[in-house]
Structures are given as structure tokens and as C-alpha cells.
Structure 1
Amino acid sequence: MYEDEAVTEPKAVPEPQPLTQFLQRLTQRVRAFDRRRPLVWDVLVTTFFVAAALVDAGGGWRNVAPNTEVPGWLVFLMSMGLSLPVLWRRRHPMAVLTVMVATALVSSWSGAMLQAALIQMLVLFSIAMRLPLRTLGRAGLMMTVPLVVGAARYPEDSWDQQIIPNLWAYAVVALLGIAVRSRQDYTEALVERARQLEVERDQQAQLAAAAERTRIAREMHDIIGHNLSVITGLADGGSYAAAKSPERAAQALEAIGSTSRQALGELRRLLDVLRDETPTPAELAPQPALTDLDQLIDGVRAAGLPVRTTVQGSPDSVPAGRQLTVYRVVQEALTNTLKHGGSGATATVDVTYGEGGVTVEVTDTGAGGSRPSGKGRGLTGMRERTALYEGTLEAGPLPRPSGGWRVRLHLPKVPEGQ
């Protein structure tokens, strides 16, 4: 044996699955098929018992019958009466059992004693699973009548040998149905309890989120209130000292800048916390829509930025969520122009409602090179909103020599049926 000879490790042999797990999976599949195709399952079960009853009616019934002279047509009718009603056992169990008991009574009276009478126990099982216990007791009494009639009319054996074994079989079937019913009720109770726990968990999460929002709002109030008060005092002091002591005025301006940067840093940390969490919106006022664009643009014009608008089409077919996205993108684009465009900048807003969706293009003549590179919160928010509706967003400087900045948004039309 060479030193470099590969050593093959034995493959792991999968452990055999226990029989109980196999039976559980098989039962689950059967139940799932029954829920999806109840009529198919009922037809299959009924076909099986009808075939078994007809096989017995072909001559096998004479082996145990006290009267072998029963006409063949009557045996056929009784076989069908004891097997065919199984098709309706789940929808009308007591009516089906009544028909089968009446047929079994004829079978006992005639002396045929068909083995198909045992199919009654399938209906008894369905009654035990679905109907109240008093109905189950009434069904048991009904099934006892043919036994008593047969034992009285053809007393070949003692009464206990003709009746008691059948009564024990009925009792076992009834207890089995009750056990299955109890198991199903227990499982449903567990599922309902799990659902309630999930609802309670969500409620606790909402309460915790509300408490956290309250805490953050209080901190923001303290930060803004404190720092604005400091800035106001510094500004008033600097204005008073400007005429007599320019050095003190310069110190006040430096302090204002330092305080402002500190306040902005703390606010950004709080906003990052809000971005990490996704609490339930607490706003009760209606969200902005495309009809509010004119008011938004009027406010921007009042702030000193000339804006020209063109609109093609009608926004009536645009859903509310997409309208909000368009509104926020236009708002953020014009805000960036105000902040970074510089003096003398102008803006243009073009909105087009077409067959393919809505398209918005916001351009300006400001200093495009001074804009954020995409790491800012504004552009990130625009891209996130656009991605919600599988749209596209383009933002960047316009080619020189004209310069400026362009933001282009396209949201596709809502597919049919959504």
C-alpha cells in the first residue's frame, strides 16, 4: 500500500424512517387530498364498498345466510341500499344511516343476513366524528333493531352470540370516532392558540414601537429646543456685539456653527434609528397626491427658485401609492436644487401620464457638480420609493456646457388584476 493512496471513507447510510412518521405523512397526504377533492374521495370510497357488496351478492352471502332462497333481485337491491348511500355519508349522515338501517332490517327479516350491513359502521364513525353524542346514541339504537329482528326471526344461536359481538363492534367504532374527533379538536385549539399568541406578539411589538417613537420624539424635541435656544441666544448676542466688539461677534458665529453641527449629528443618529425600525405609520392626515404638486411648486417659487412645469395626460389612473412616490421625488429634487443649485438657478418639472405609466423629469440650471454623490439620505430615499413599484430612477449632472442636474423617474403602469 502506497503512502499517497487515497483512502475512501464509507458513505453515511441514511437511517430508516420510523413507521409512525411514514404513517403520519401518509395520513396528512390523504387528508390534504380529501380537503382539495372531497367528491373524488367520496366516489372512490363508495365505489369500493359497492364493489364489495356486489361481490358478496354474487353468491357468497349464502354461506352464512339462514335463508338461501331469497330472490336474487332482492339481494341486489339490498346490496345497493347498504353500499350506495355511503356517497352522502358526510353531508347527510343520519339520513344515510336511516336508509341503511331500513335495508338491514329487510335483510334480517328475509334471512339473507348480508355482510354489507357492516358498512353501517362507516356511517357510525362519521356520526361520532361530526355530530353530538345524543345523536350518536340514537344511531346506535337504530342499528340494534335489525340485530334484534334477525335474532328473533332466526334463533339459530343464543342471543348473546348473535347480538353482543355486533354491539361491541359498534362501540369500538364509536369510541374510535370520538378519539379522532377529540384529537382534531385539540389540534384546532392549539392552532387557534398559536394564532392568538401571534396576534398578541404583534400587538406587543406595536406597543413597543409606539413607546420607542415617543422616546425618540421626546429626545428630538429636547435636542431641537435646546440647540435652537442656544443658537438664538448666540445670534442675539453676536448681533448686539457686532458694532462694539467684532471679535465677540466672530466667536458667536463660530459657536453657532459648532452648535448647529452638533445638533445635526444628534438628529442624524436619531433618524438612523428610525430608518432601522419600520414602525406602523402614526400619521392621520392624508398623504400628498399628484394634485398637491401645484401647491408644492408654489412654495418652492416663494422660496426664490423659478420653476416651470409641463403636464401631459391625466393622473386619474395612477394609484395613491405611486402618486405619493412621484410627489416625494419631485419634492426632494426641488429641495436639492434649493440647497445646491446656487444663486440664479432655475428648475423645470415635466410630468407625463401615458400608456406605459408615469414619467417625471426634474432638471435645473444650478451647479450640478456640487450635488451629493448618492450617499445622501435624499437620493437613497428616492431610490427606495422607486424600487417599491419596480420603477427606474436616474439622477446625475447634465452634460456641459449647460450644466445643471437632472432627476428622471419612471413608474410602469399597474398590471391588470392587481
Structure 2
Amino acid sequence: MELPMVWRQWLARHDRIRDALPAVPLIVIATAATAVGKNDWHEPRWDEVVWMALSCVPLAFRSRWPLGVAVFTLAGDLTLMAVASHIAPTPAASLVALYTLAVHGSRRTAWSVGVAAGVAITGVYAATQAESLVGGASLLRFDFVLAATALGRAVRSRRESLAAARERVEHAERMQEEEARRRVTQERVRIARDLHDVVAHHITLVNAQAGVAHHLMRANPDQAYEALAHIQDNSRAALDELRATVGLLRQPGDAPGSRAPIPRLADLDTLVDGCRASGLSVRVTRTGTPSPLTPATELTAYRIIQEALTNSHKHAAGSEAALVLDYGPHTLRVTVTDDGRPGPPKGAGTGHGLVGMRERATAIGGTVTAGPLPGRGFEVVAELPLSLAPTSVSNPS
């Protein structure tokens, strides 16, 4: 560690020594001043040196009581000026005290005391030295006092500016940390949502097809064999999607090619065929004029349809579902209904699926509503924008 740094740290731990340091050169200068004659040097006038030293003693407490020290040192210097009028001493201790008051006190107090001290010092000097109040020597002492006060205010302003800049930097760092935590949370939610969609859909289909295979194993081995083939296909698809999703966590960055192909509405037929193979009859209807969709909208629509069909197969007591894609001028309306009748569901859910649908739709500026139909069935309706606003999230996956 460098010596100046060690010295500053040591002074920061010893306030009284730090405050008293200016007294040392002041006493040395006063001693030399009293030893200077017109033509030669002589022994210092020790009574005046002692008086100067006594006037500097309060400086040891100038940072703790700046106003009291300023008043005390001013009184001592004015007394010294009156007693030692033959040498016209400079009120050096008062200048240090006034500087400290300007640094630690308020602006009004600093300037009020500073102007009053300047007038008092100028008046005493003019009276003891038979000078004019507006003479050069008198005004010089008034200027010294104002300069000490102005220097103290400038130092205080600089410190406040540095403190404000430091606070802005710390605030910016805190905001960056909060933004980083927010992004991490969003990424965790995104990954959890993707894993839920992949696992819930494929495992539901595998479970249904396994039940079909078990039921038909003795009665109809050919259909049972077909169900086992569907199980193999769905389990392979689930593993591929899981591998792609988890693989994103191992990527060092978001470089080109680091992401797996994003599911789109063009893959809807494969999704519907898988549901049909598991025993859920799905009827697909498209209305309106299909328009180009952003990748985010296509992915969101695909995942919502996937989750809705999974819920229809897993929780509803019915065996039919209807999917309607309605292309409007500005929005794509996705409606998924089933014919589930009141009764025990096929499985218990956690509610994460519906929450994930709403999160996906909200991320691109859309909405999702879901609820039971009158009498029977369940309906999921998603309103998704065909194009995203500039501030929207471009890729919610």
C-alpha cells in the first residue's frame, strides 16, 4: 500500500490530530515573524508566540464544533491584534476556522460569520495600525477572510458533487443487479414453462397410449403394437425436446445455431395426430385469411394449443376436442373446447398450465381466458397479435 494512502487512513482514524495539523505551520510562521527585525534577526517574542499557540488550540476540535471554534479563534486573534499592534499579525487561526466552518456548516452560517469576521478583523486592524478602512492593507485582510470562506464552500460543493456522483454510480449498480436478478427469474420461469409444456404433453400421451396398449394386449395385439409404436415416437419426441431445452442451459452464449428449431403452426398436424393416436378426437377448423405471423406469435399459439389439448385429454371426462384458428385483421384467435362432462377428471392438475398460457400470451401483448362451458366442457380462448409492438418481447420461449 502506498505511503500517502496509509497516511490518509491513519489521519481518518485520529480526528483530533488531523484537525490540529494546521496549527504547526502557523506557530512556526508566527515564531519566525516575531524574530524578524528591520535589519537583522533577534530572539522571538515568546509571549506573542505563546498567545498564537493558545489561539490555535481550539483548531483541534474544528471539525466537531466548527462554529464554536470559529468564534473562539476569532476572539483570540482580535485580542492578539489589539495587544501586538506593533507587528500587525495576520489572523491565521481564524482563517483556518472559517474555512472549516464553510466546509461543515450551512451556507448562510458560513457567509454570515465570514462577513462579520472580515468586518471585525478589518476594523481592529485599521484602528490599531491607524489605517483607513478602505485602505489596501485593511481590505487585504477582509479579502483573506472572504477567500477562506469561499474556498471552504468550494470544497464542500466539490465533496457534495462527488458524493452525488458516487450515489448515482451505486444506484446504477443496484439497478443493474436488480435487472440481472429479474432476467434470471424470467429465464427460470421460461425454462420451467417450456419443460412443463414438453413433459406434460408427451407424458400424457404416453400414459394414454400405454393404457390403450395394456387394454388391447390380449384382445387385439395389432392395435396394442400400434399403441406401443406411438409410445416410442412420443417418448423420443419428448427426449428430443427435453434435450434441446436443457441444452440451452449449457450454451456459453446466444450465438447463432445455439437454439433448437422453434415449433410453429406448421407443426400443428403432427401435434394433432399425436393426440388422436392417444384417443382424443380433435377437429381442426381454420377461418379467415391466414396472415404471416411472427415467430413469437407462432410459438405462443403452438404452446397454448399444445397445453389446452393436453389438459383436455388429461383432465376432461370427454373424448372430443375442437380447435378453431380464426385469422383476423390484426389478431389470431385460438379457441380450444372439449366435451368433458361433469365427473372425476382423468388426472389432478397443479394449475401451472393455465398460468403458463397466460404468461406466454401476456409476453407478446395477447390475452388468454379459460373456464368451463355451460352444462359441460371446457374452453380456452387466446387472442394473439399478428405483429408485435416494438416494445414487446420478441421471443417468449
Query: Which of the five TM-score ranges fits, normalised by the shorter chain?
Result: 0.5 to 0.7
Q: Which has the higher mean CA deviation after the structures are superposed, 166-175 or 45-54?
A: 45-54
Match of 1:125 in 2: 99
Contact 1:75–1:112, Cα closer than 8 Å, also in 2: no
Report the counterpart of residue 155 of structure 2 in structure 1: 180
Mapped partners of 2:194, 2:54: distance in 1: 80
Partner of 2:306: none
Matches within 5 A, 1:313-352: none
What residue is the counterpart of 1:137 in the other structure?
111
Deviation at 1:131, TM superposition (A): 0.7
After superposition, the Cα gap between the structure-2 partners of 1:151 and 1:26, relative to the gap in structure 1 and judged at 3 Å, is: farther
TM-score (norm: length of structure 1): 0.51
State the SS of the aligned residue for 1:211. helix
Matches within 5 A, 1:192-231: 192-231=167-206
Residue in structure 2 matched with residue 101 of structure 1 by the alignment:
74
Number of the residue aligned with 1:42? 19
User: Given the alignment of the two structures, is residue 90 of structure 1 paired with residue 63 of structure 2, yes or no?
Assistant: yes
Does 2:35 match 1:54? no
Instruction: Give the CA deviation at 1:185.
Output: 1.0
- Alignment of 1:77 with 2:54, yes or no, is no
Which residue identity is paired with 2:207?
Answer: T
- What is the aligned partner in structure 2 of residue 162 from structure 1? 137
Match of 1:236 among 211, 220, 228: 211
Aligned residue type for 1:104: D
| Corresponding residue SS for 2:64 | coil
Deviation string for 1:27-54 (max 9, x for gaps)? Answer: 9887555435544433443333333333
Kindly state the Cα deviation for residue 155 of structure 1 after the two structures are TM-superposed. 0.6
- Aligned partners of 1:175 and 1:92: how far apart in 2? 19
Could you tell me whether the CA contact under 8 Å between 2:26 and 2:92 is conserved in 1? no
Contact 1:107 1:114 in 2 (8 A): no
Distance change (3 Å), C-alpha of 1:158 and 1:120: closer
Question: What is aligned with 2:344?
Answer: none
SS at match of 1:50: helix
Specify the SS of the correspondent of 1:115. Answer: coil
C-alpha distance in structure 1 between counterparts of 2:57 and 2:210, whole Å: 97
Determine helix, strand or coil for the equivalent of 2:218: coil
- Aligned 8 A contact 2:23 2:56 in 1: yes
2:179 maps to amino acid? Q
Counterpart amino acid of 1:227? H
Structure 1 residue identity aligned to 2:23: T
SS in 2 for 1:90: coil
Distance 1:273 1:84 in 2: 71
**Structure 1 residues 76 and 179, CA, compared in 2 at 3 Å: closer, same or farther?**
closer
What secondary structure sits across from 1:129 in the alignment?
helix
| Deviation of 1:80 (Å) | 1.4
Cα deviations by residue, 1:99-157 (Å, 9 ceiling, x for unpaired)? 22112222222214453522322222211111112211232213431331231233156
How is 1:211-290 mapped onto 2 (pairs within 5 angstroms)?
211-273=186-248
Instruction: Give the whole-Å Cα distance in 2 for the aligned partners of 1:276 and 1:45.
Output: 62
Shift of 1:201: 1.8
User: What letter corresponds to residue 219 of structure 2 in structure 1?
Assistant: K
Q: Which has the higher contact order (CA 8 A, sep 6+)?
A: 2
* Structure-1 separation of matches of 2:158 and 2:6: 17
**Residues 1:207 and 1:235: Cα distance change in structure 2 (over 3 Å):** same
Q: 2:125 aligns with which of 150, 166, 171?
A: 150
Aligned residue identity for 1:115: P
Query: 1:261 and 1:219, CA in 2 relative to 1: closer, same or farther beyond 3 A?
Result: same
| Aligned positions, number | 245
Pick closer, same or farther for the CA change 1:244–1:155 going to 2, 3 Å: same
Identity of aligned residues (%): 24
Task: Check whether the contact 2:103–2:152 (CA below 8 A) recurs between aligned residues.
Answer: yes
Q: Which runs of 5+ in 1 are unaligned?
A: 1-24, 65-70, 278-418
* Alignment gaps of 5+ in structure 2: 253-397
Length-normalised TM-score, structure 2: 0.54
1:129–1:178 Cα contact (<8 Å) kept? yes
- Secondary structure at the residue paired with 2:135? helix
Query: Given residue 231 of structure 2, which amino acid in structure 1 is its aligned partner?
Result: I
Letter of the 2:82 counterpart: W
Distance in 2 between residues matched to 1:43 and 1:118, nearest whole Å: 13
